[in-house]
Structures are given as C-alpha cells and as structure tokens.
Amino acid sequence: MIEPRKTPPPVPLLGAGDIRRLAAELNLRPTKTLGQNFVIDGNTIRRIVASAQLGAFETVLEVGPGLGSLTLGLLDAAERVVAVEIDPVLAAKLPATVASWRPERTEALDVVLADAMRVTHLPRQPTALVANLPYNVAVPVVLNLLERFPTLRSGLVMVQDEVADRLAAVPGSKIYGVPSVKAAWYSSMEKAGTVGMNVFWPAPKIASGLVRFTRREPPATTASRTEVFAVIDAAFAQRRKTLRAALAGWAGSPVLAEQALRRAGIDPTARGEVLGITAYARIAEAKAAATTAG
C-alpha cells in the first residue's frame, strides 16, 4: 500500500492570544504615532510572505518588526532577516520571541534599533524589503531605503490601501502623484491585494493594501535624481495648472518653463499628471542644458 504523502505541519505563527500576551508582558500601549498595528492572523502573514516571492538566498530587510508576527514568517522563507525597529522595547524583545518560537533560526536574525527614515548602515546588504509599514511614514521610508540600499532588488510592503493605489498608479489616473512618479524612478510597482482591518490589533480604521516592487534602472539622463525630483515636486505642487504655469517658479519664469518644456518635447499646456518619470527626467535635463549653454 502506498503511504499518503504527508504535508509538513504549518510553521507556528503568532495569533491574537500570543500578541496580547506579549503586549501585556511588555506593558505595551500601541501608539498611533509609530503606526503600531500588529498582525494577529497567521494566514495574512502567509499571504504577505507568499506575495513577496522570495528566493531562499534572500536577505530580507523588515522595517518595524513589532512583536515579530511577520519576522517569524520571513525567517521561514528567506536566508536571513535584518529587522529595523525604532521602539527600543520591541527591538529588545524580538530575539527572545524568535528564540522561543523558532529556536533553530535565531542566528538568521539581526535586530537593528534605528529609525528607518535615517538608517544609513545595516549589518548585511539586504536583497528584498518586506514590511508591514508604519502608515504615516510609509512612502518616505520606501523611497529612502530604495535610495540608500541599491542591493534591494525587490519587495512587498503593506501600507494604507489608498497609498498602495497611489504607489502603483500610472500617468493619467486621478490618484497619480508625487509618490507614484518618485517610486517609478527606482522600480516598477504593482498592487498585490487588499487586507481587511480585523487582522490587526489594534484594528486600524482603514483598509490596507499590498504593493510589490521590482527595481529597475532609473531613466537614462544627465540630470541628477535631485534635479528630477525637484521638477516633480514643482509640477504636483499645483497639479491643476498647466506645466508652463506650475513650473514657472522652478524655471525662473513662465517663459523659461515653456522653453525647457519645448526642448524636452513636452506640450507646455499639458498637466503634470500625464507625464511619466522619463518625461520628468527630460525636463530636468533640458533646464540643466539651458543653464550650461546660457
């Protein structure tokens, strides 16, 4: 008789009771300022980890490990996890949590007590970013990490659902804005699903969304990233105006703005929300070229 194939038991993950117990042990009062909403549902963790499409060789950067819900899932899928946490109480507790839930994986975890907005050095070069991000700083954290750690090739982040839509928006859509264009400098972004509120403790008032990204080369341009981002900021600061008007301050006058736009091959009466990252790079380059020539 053929023995039925046994599926391995699922890796233990933190549930609602575990999260409450850990929080009580630490006397933790989750704060809104730090976006502390902890995942209490193992299936959501499995879904995030599966959506991240990690290879077994991966060193994952996790921002805000909190009580360790996602960290335990990531330790099962990747070679290593570097967890950056701003809250000293949570950062100090994490190694003990991993030691009791996944003792065989304790060596695979590095915990860094730091602000992900400012961190410049990590103990290892991360290859993927996977995080349930603190919502009020999600976009700057993603942009900052993509800029600082070029070894990050891909990632999956959970953010506010509306922010997920913005990050993945394409030119011409209503929600296309500064986060969409700046994120496109570094990577392609795609929405990977929506997550309800009741998988968190405490439950947030809004739904969350998953965004997956894959790094790509920035557009070929002689303009610097800072110069390109300055045009984007100017164009969206007055997004209802024509580019000629919106970029007047940035260029020095409406006439200079029109000249830069024409040199870049862009209609001066168009609005910023129809342009992709390559067009913004061309505008920045056209102004820099005019400054050099003139």
Applying CB under 6 A, the residues found at the interface with ligand SAM are: 34-39, 63-66, 69-70, 84-87, 90, 115-117, 132, 134, 137
In contact, 197 and 206? CB cutoff 8 Å: yes
Cβ proximity to ligand SAM, 87 vs 165, nearer residue? 87
Smallest gap from Cβ 158 to ligand SAM, in A, equals 7
Smallest gap from Cβ 125 to ligand SAM, in A, equals 18
Smallest gap from Cβ 182 to ligand SAM, in A, equals 18
Cβ proximity to ligand SAM, 202 vs 254, nearer residue? 202
Cβ proximity to ligand SAM, 39 vs 228, nearer residue? 39
Smallest gap from Cβ 35 to ligand SAM, in A, equals 5
Taking CB atoms, the residue at the shortest distance from ligand SAM is: 64
Smallest gap from Cβ 115 to ligand SAM, in A, equals 4
Cβ proximity to ligand SAM, 49 vs 247, nearer residue? 49
Smallest gap from Cβ 44 to ligand SAM, in A, equals 9
DSSP string, the chain: -PPPPPPPPPPP---HHHHHHHHHHHT----TTTT--EE--HHHHHHHHHHTT--TT-EEEEE--TTSHHHHHHHHHSSEEEEEES-HHHHHHHHHHHHHH-GGGGGGEEEEES-TTT----SS--SEEEEE--GGGHHHHHHHHHHH-TT--EEEEEEEHHHHHHHH--TTSTT--HHHHHHHHHEEEEEEEEE-GGGEESPPSS-EEEEEEEE-PPPP-SS-HHHHHHHHHHHHHTTTS-HHHHTHHHHSSHHHHHHHHHHTT--TTS-GGG--HHHHHHHHHHHHHHHHH-
Cβ proximity to ligand SAM, 159 vs 228, nearer residue? 159
Q: Please tell me the distance from the alpha carbon of residue 188 to that of residue 201, in angstroms, as a whole number.
A: 31
Smallest gap from Cβ 72 to ligand SAM, in A, equals 10
Cβ proximity to ligand SAM, 49 vs 246, nearer residue? 49
Cβ proximity to ligand SAM, 64 vs 155, nearer residue? 64
